[in-house]
Structure 1
Amino acid sequence: MSNLRELPVLDTAADAVPCCPPLSRKPLDAVDADRLAAMFKALGDPVRLRLFSFIASHEGGEACVCDLPDVGVSQPTVSHHLKKLREAGLVSARRKASWMFYKVEPAALTALSGLLADRS
């Protein structure tokens, strides 16, 4: 039996606000640095980055685990990588019947892109 649970999904554009000013404007505090480092660490693995990219670019912005392409690792390893993406707050998951569906969290994308933006 799976121990996956449904995670909350941020649906509105109001939820997707940058966490902090761009690096070119102000240094990060310890809390933001820890949170963002976890996101970057999750994306630092090539398999996770490919899975994240596939989910983000999938039609409708949501991908069933059954639709994920072969990324050169076993199914249990894919599940492990998806769990790491969820734990980092980059994707959310929901169960529909016996399948899991993954969706990129807009707030996570906004936080990462806002941090790297050059708004000097």
Structure 2
Amino acid sequence: MDEISACCALGGRPLDAAEAQAAATLFKALAQPARLQILSQLAAAGCSPMTVGELACVSGLSQPTVSHHLKTMADAGLLTRSKSGRVVTHEVRPEVFAELRRILDIGHADRRW
């Protein structure tokens, strides 16, 4: 297999229409640098739940900005939201994160973009 073929190989079957629509919804929710940053912070924490305040602290974004982006990602199905008393936490839905990794094969440390 030449270098271009290896680069472009899917490693699996193509997406059907429903899968493509679901993936497009996720990608639309991630089409914002701040959202990618927040998602990477959640993933770096082992996909453990984090509060808006914790995410604001580690990302350098304001709490209202983080809240806005978390809502967008939760509405797209990327995150779950849990409330315990006055504390609200957000966490990555592992099955959705795994699907994103499968579609994009983004689990490599040698990214070149």
TM-score if structure 2 supplies the norm length?
Answer: 0.71
Which runs of 5 or more structure 2 residues have no equivalent in the other structure? 1-8, 106-113
1:43 aligns with 2:30: yes
What letter corresponds to residue 91 of structure 1 in structure 2? L
RMSD of equivalent CA atoms: 2.2
Deviation larger for 62-71 or 77-86: 62-71
Taking CA–CA contacts closer than 8 Å with sequence separation of 6 or more, which of the two structures ends up with the larger relative contact order? 1
1:1-120 aligned within 5 A? 23-58=10-45, 61-68=48-55, 69=57, 71=59, 73-117=61-105
Whichever structure has more helix as a proportion of its residues is 2
Which runs of 5 or more structure 1 residues have no equivalent in the other structure? 1-21
Contact residue 66 and residue 99 of structure 1 kept, 8 A: no
Aligned length: 96
Q: Deviations over 1:72-97 (max 9, x none)?
A: 55433321110111112111110122
Show structure 1 runs of 4+ deviating over 6 A. none
TM-score if structure 1 supplies the norm length?
Answer: 0.67
